[in-house]
Amino acid sequence: MTAESDPVTQQPGKIIAVHISYESRAAERGRRPKDPSYFFKPASSVAASGHSVERPAGTELLAFEGEIALIIGSEARRVPLEKAWQHVQAITAANDWGLYDLRGADKGSNVRNKGRDGYTPLGPEQIDARAVDPSALRIRTWKNGELVQQDTTAGMIFPLAQLVADLSQHLTLQPGDVILTGTPAEASVAEPGDTVEVEVDAPENGLSTGRLVSQVVEGPDTFDPQLGSLPAVDDKQREEAWGSEEKAGLTPKTPVLTPELKAKLQSVPVAGLSQQLRQRGLNNVAIDGVCPTRPGTKLVGVAKTLRFVPNREDLFKSHGGGFNAQKQVFDSVAEGEVIVIEARGETGSGTLGDILALRAAARGAAGVVTDGGVRDYATVAEIDLPVFTSGAHPAVLGRKHVPWDTDLTIACGGATVQPGDVIVGDEDGVIVIPPHLAEEVADAALAKEAEDAWVAERVKEGGSVAELFPMNKEWRARYEAEQNGAEQEAGQ
């Protein structure tokens, strides 16, 4: 049984879309939200089945997302979870199209990349919400006839009724409003000439929306540089639009820090690594003036960089608010990365606080290093995240800093840091290791640690520092003989 067959005969008052809502999508993106989060799409983006979707000339990353759309039938305001589904009139298929070339310019709002005309096709049929179990719906997407997305509402992080109830806590849902409930894994990119179809059905009772058809065509280039942001893409956007590095045709990144190398760096002190770097002519690799928020902290990771510039009020208005560079870094840091912040040694303001530290910890960041201050210092120190800072300060960014740009070469504590550099810290401080030297330096430092431990034992036994530190020829020969003997015994 279906309701009215054309869900776009009346434009909705508002369209509310959910970010990550399926377990499969969360696993694909490497981040699982604790609570649902949302964004708005304009009613002017609605289109019917069979509508052509434009990819503007000169752009690259038009991505499809097959979704289940809920159509509100009666006003919902502060409704409890157990009554929320009663306010849903119908279910239909949706495709939440987005132009990733404009994603960076949106800074999280999705206005440009997902709000374009025709980027919310709905239909072709509606299913009466009273006739189905909301936990037993299926969503499928085809690209050029090949099934590319398939999941069920049983695999959702947030049940459909929860989305209705949660939204009704914050605003009034009115008849005709549409909720786009998120996409499962394998959403990807379509190009001019491709056809993408989406269907929602209830397999248990045979009800279906039919296939929502979108044909991708090339549209005109209408971007005026004098009016606003221009399209731009990078490998990060390509990876997210396509779904993986492999699908995007990118060369997989070889991990700098293998588990074995990380274990070596965890076990050797920064002082020893610093000595080895100095012997190789690298004297300016220490990030000066930073200390850990917790005693006994060890930090090992790969640099992800963020730069603050001195506060200027007009620039803070344009770059300080919204999904700014600071929030982007903390919201996208990958497992094992260290956020390294250039704050010019300015300690008169915080460069992060407890919320951002929690976000970095949740994403598996290896730590944070800043040559500026930290707000909420005591709380940050309790979070399971190594943080090295110049000290505590209660002020927010706007007092001294503007968050400016990310993923570039920066200066932190007098040291040059590039994305991908190896960062190691302990209570002696933090050093920067060029990636190509990391393995060599770690092995040499471990060998020197073993030698120093042997020397310390000989000094405890009464040996002379003059002869042992450094070792003269006689002690050196004895040490090497003992090491060779130990190696032979271990090999038997």
375 is in an annotated binding site: yes
d(CA 177, CA 11): 9
Tokens of 388: 């090295």
* pLDDT tens track for 364-376: 999 999 999 999 9
Instruction: Determine the residue type at 52.
Output: S
Confidence bin at 468 (pLDDT 50/70/90): confident
Last residue within a domain, chosen from 242, 276, 308: 242
User: Mean pLDDT, to the nearest integer, of 403-420?
Assistant: 94
Do 411 and 466 lie in one domain? The reply is: no
The CATH number linked to 121 is 3.90.850.10
Quote the pLDDT of residue 108: 80
pLDDT of residue 310: 96
Tens digit of each residue's pLDDT (9 = 90 or more) over 438-457: 999 999 999 988 888 898 99
The stretch 106-134 carries a mean pLDDT of 94
How close are the terminal C-alpha atoms of the chain, in Å? Answer: 77
Task: Tell whether residue 151 is among the known ligand binding residues.
Answer: no
How many structural domains does the chain have?
3
Q: Are residues 238 and 277 located together in one domain of the fold?
A: no
User: Which two tokens mark 484?
Assistant: 């060779």
Taking residues 101-124, report their average pLDDT: 92
Using the 3D structure, point to which of 188, 217, 242 is the last residue of a domain. Answer: 242
Q: 376 among the known binding-site residues?
A: yes
Amino acid letter at 344? R
d(CA 193, CA 102): 21
Does residue 87 lie in a domain region?
A: yes
| Percent of the chain clearing pLDDT 90 (strictly above) | 77
Q: Which long-range contacts (CB under 8 A, 24 or more apart) does 249-257 make?
A: 256/302, 256/420, 256/422, 256/435, 256/438, 257/300, 257/301, 257/302, 257/336, 257/422, 257/438
Q: Is 398 annotated as a binding residue?
A: no
Question: Any idea what DSSP says for residue 22?
Answer: B
CA 377/CA 426 separation, integer angstroms: 18
Kindly state whether residues 108 and 195 are assigned to the same domain: yes
CA distances to 118, 374, 385, 397, 462 from 181, rounded to whole Å, are 18, 37, 33, 35, 74
Cα–Cα nearest to 337, from 302, 375, 363, 294? 302
DSSP for 32-86 reads: --SS--EEEE-GGGEE-TT-EEEEETT---EEE-EEEEEEE-S-BSS--HHHHGG
**pLDDT of 8 over the 70 cut:** no
The per-residue pLDDT for 9 is 45
Assess if residue 298 is contained within a domain. Answer: yes
Are residues 33 and 155 located together in one domain of the fold? yes
Residue 352 maps to a domain: yes
Let me know whether 87 and 178 are in one domain: yes
Q: Please indicate, yes or no, whether residues 189 and 237 belong to a single structural domain of this protein.
A: yes
- The model carries a pTM of 0.59
Mean pLDDT calculated for residue range 349-357: 95
Identify whether residues 94 and 117 lie together within a single domain. Answer: yes
Region 9-21: what's the mean pLDDT?
88
Choice among 334-338, 408-412, 449-453 with the minimum mean pLDDT: 449-453
Q: Retrieve residue 444's tokens.
A: 């040499």
Residue 470 above 90 pLDDT? no
Same domain, 194 and 159: yes
Q: Do 166 and 302 lie in a common domain?
A: no
Indicate the pLDDT class of residue 2, thresholds 50, 70 and 90. Answer: very low
d(CA 201, CA 248): 30
State which residues form the domain around 207: 15-242
Q: What is the mean pLDDT of residues 49-61?
A: 95
Same domain, yes or no: 217 and 323: no
Same-domain status, 147 and 185: yes
Phi, psi of 322 (to 5 degrees): 60, -150
The tens digit of pLDDT for each residue in 158-217 reads 999 999 999 999 999 999 999 999 999 999 999 999 999 999 999 999 999 999 999 999
Q: What is the band of 97 on the pLDDT scale with cuts at 50, 70, 90?
A: very high
67 versus 252: the higher-pLDDT residue is 67
Band (pLDDT 50/70/90 cuts) for residue 34 is confident
Q: Output the domain CATH number for residue 372.
A: 3.50.30.40
DSSP class per residue in 82-117? HHHGGGEEEEEEEE--EEGGGHHHHTT--HHHH-ST
Residue 2 lies in a domain: no
- Contact indicator for 376, 329 with CB cutoff of 8 Å: no
CB of 149 closer than 8 Å to CB of 173 = no
pLDDT above 70 (res 4):
no
**Structure confidence by residue, pLDDT tens digits, 372-395:** 999 999 999 999 999 999 999 999
| Residue 253 in domain | no
- pLDDT tens digit sequence for 217-262: 999 988 998 898 899 998 889 999 999 888 998 877 667 789 999 9
- The reported pLDDT for the residue numbered 251 is 78
What gap in Å lies between CA 230 and CA 374, rounded to an integer? 35
Q: How far apart are CA 238 and CA 249, in angstroms?
A: 9
Tell me which residue of 56, 199, 193 sits closest to 116, measured CA to CA.
Answer: 56
Q: What confidence score (pLDDT) does residue 290 get? A: 97
Last residue of a domain, one of 242, 275, 290: 242
Residues 195 and 265 in one domain: no
Which amino acid does the sequence have at 449?
E
Nearest to 113 by CA among 126, 98, 133: 98
80 alpha-carbon distance from chain centroid: 32
**353 among annotated binding-site residues:** yes
Mean per-residue pLDDT of the chain:
92
Within a domain: 251: no
Distance CA 171, CA 162 (A): 14
What pLDDT score does 95 carry?
98
On whether residue 247 sits in a domain, the answer given is no
Mean pLDDT of 461-476: 88
Q: Is residue 10 part of a domain?
A: no
CA distances from 490 to 384, 477, 479, 486 (A): 38, 20, 17, 6
354 labeled binding residue: yes
